[in-house]
Amino acid sequence: MVSRMPEATPAPIRLVIADDQALVRGALAALLALEDDLEVAGVAADGVQAVEMVAALQPDVCLMDIQMPDMDGIDATRRVRAAHPSTRVLIVTTFARPGYLRAALDAGASGFVVKDTPAEQLAEAVRRVHAGLRVVDPALAEESLFEGMNPLSDRERQVLRLAADGRAASAVAAEVFLSAGTVRNLLSAAIGKTGAANRAQAVRIAQDKGWI
């Protein structure tokens, strides 16, 4: 009688979780660690740490927030995917905005879900992303079909983001190494493209849609 060798247990899916809120980081790590096939290898507090941690730990999946200090999740996703294509990125965010969804997918993210997703569904999203599938919040995916593409250029997005705190065009110009006149022209273009009446309204519209 020939004895059969026991089947090897698959290695767990190794995760890095990036979120600037310690409470959220801890909660996500605790919930996902309860799953037998998932292993939290590390946590990061911002985009810079996320990129560094992925480089050091080589996880299978990185769960990435969007709005983080020093480097946002979109830029961090782009860097992770460029340097470590074997690590897939799942965006997990409070901000369910069509513009963010498009930007995240363009940056190379494999999935986009909101933070109030039930734990079981989040774990399944991680598994699906790891398997090479794309996972997108259904309601957000439908909404994005009707929102259209982000009409702002990279420069318009940059100056509008910097002008969000009310700083003068000259101050923005000094930071982006452009003339004040060029910055004013970019802001004017952004106001027109968003259909806003003024700069402050353009900022609000762009933020609400996830364009900046």
| Same domain flag for 106 and 131 | yes
* Residues 76 and 64 sit within 8 Å (Cβ to Cβ): yes
| Same domain flag for 116 and 196 | no
Residue 27 burial class via C-beta count within 10 angstroms: exposed 0-12, middle 13-18, buried 19 and up: middle
| Same domain flag for 129 and 177 | no
Domain count, the chain: 2
For 10-116, where are the alpha helices, taking DSSP H only? 22-33, 47-57, 73-83, 98-107
| Same domain flag for 105 and 161 | no
> What is 36-49 written as a DSSP string?
TTEEEEEEESSHHH
Q: Can you give the pLDDT of all 212 residues of the chain as single tens digits?
A: 555 666 667 789 999 999 999 999 999 999 999 999 999 999 999 999 999 999 999 999 999 999 898 899 999 999 999 999 999 999 998 877 777 888 888 899 999 998 888 899 999 999 999 999 999 877 666 555 545 567 888 888 889 888 888 888 888 888 888 888 898 888 888 888 887 878 888 888 888 777 87
- What digits encode the pLDDT tens for the residues 106-164? 899 999 998 888 899 999 999 999 999 999 877 666 555 545 567 888 888 889 888 88
Full-model pTM: 0.69
> Terminal CA-to-CA distance of the chain, rounded, Å?
68
131: Cβ–Cβ under 8 A, 6 or more apart, which residues? Answer: none
Q: Residue 92's pLDDT is what?
A: 94
Nearest Cα to Cα of residue 164 among 197, 127, 198, 135 = 198
| Same domain flag for 127 and 205 | no
Cα distances (angstroms) measured from residue 117 to each of 108, 121, 125, 150, 181? 21, 6, 10, 26, 45
Domain extent for 57: 13-146
Q: Residue 2's pLDDT is what?
A: 55
17: Cβ–Cβ under 8 A, 6 or more apart, which residues? Answer: 25, 28, 29, 32, 40, 42, 43, 44, 62, 63
